Every structure is written in structure tokens, then in C-alpha cells.
Amino acid sequence: MGLFMILFTLIGGITLSAQSSINGTLSQKAGTIETTFLTFLTGTMFLTIFILFFGSGNVLALFEAPKWQLSAAFLGTMYLLLTVMAVPKIGVIAANIAGIAGQLIIGVVIDHFGWFNSMVITLDVRRAFALLFMMIALYFIYRGNKRSVKESTVQQV
């Protein structure tokens, strides 16, 4: 079950990267806020139909859910806002890599302490090494992208 979940989540990551390319193309002409709004709007429309036919949960239970759980919706907006602030100052690649580092570190910390009722997975040596390898990967992506950018500007000249 765990392995299946990991594969499912990998697909989630794949669709996310396709989404950012598509949204990048759209936002050049429509604008950032406009594109994000359209993303949420079409997502809502799709899910409305999907829930009506296949929903097994209870949407109305939203009104009884603890408010701190509902506040997660603002975190996604906060991500967008902070990224938009950081990109012009440090560049897209650096902003993305710093963002991913934050995501990984906090992800492991949440597991370690079992925050938000999540399952407790302690930060052992294996996990620390996994984090280290992710950081190495990020470093190589940074280097690789810098080289691609340099090569493409040389070609343009």
C-alpha cells in the first residue's frame, strides 16, 4: 500500500510540473493573478461534478470541521504570494530550490513530532541521509540550470 501511495504521489508531482509549464504559458498573456484564479475556478468546476457522482465523504461536514483545518486554504495562497515576492529578487531557480528545501525540512519535522495528528516517523540516520541526498540533488539542479542558461545565451549571441 505504501509503495502504491508513493507511485500515486509521483504522478501528483508529474501533473504539478505539467501544470506549472501550462500556467506559465497562459500567464504570459492573461496575468499571474488571472491564471491562478482560472486554475482554482476550473478545478472547482471539475471537482463539483466529480463529487456529485463519486463523492463518498460529506462536504457539509466542512461547517463542523475545526477552523485550524480550514485555514490550510490560506497556506496555498501564502506560498504563491511569497514566491511572487522572492522570484524578482533572487531568480526563479533559486526561489524554487529554496522553496523545495523548506518543503522537505518542514515535512520531516512534522513527521518527527507528529504534528497535526500525523503519524510519528522519527528523524533517524537514514532519513537524515535522505535529506542530505535531496540537498545534493538540488545543488546539481542549480548547477545544471546555470549551465543550460549560459549555453542558451551563448547560442543566442
Partner 1 sequence: MRFIFYVLALLAGAALSFEGAIYAELGKSIGQIETSFYNFFMGAIIMGLLLIFFRKGKISYAFEAPRWTLLGGVLGVVYLTSIVVSVPFVGVGITMVAVIIGQLVMSMVIEHFGWLGSKRTGINKEKVFAVVSMVIALILIN
Binding to partner 1, residues 10-39 (CB under 8 A):
10-27, 29-39
Q: Which of residues 123-142 bind partner 1 (CB under 8 A)?
A: 126-127, 129-134, 136-141
Q: Where are the alpha helices (DSSP H) in the chain?
A: 2-30, 32-54, 67-70, 72-90, 92-113, 125-156
Site for partner 1 in 66-125 (CB under 8 A): 68-79, 82-83, 85-86, 89-90, 94-96, 98-108, 110-111, 115-119, 121
Smallest distance from partner 1 to CB 52, Å: 10
* Cα dihedral 126, 115, 43, 1 in deg (nearest 10): 50
| Virtual torsion, Cα 25, 26, 27, 30, nearest 10 deg | 150
Task: Provide, rounded to whole angstroms, the least separation between the CB of residue 76 and partner 1.
Answer: 6
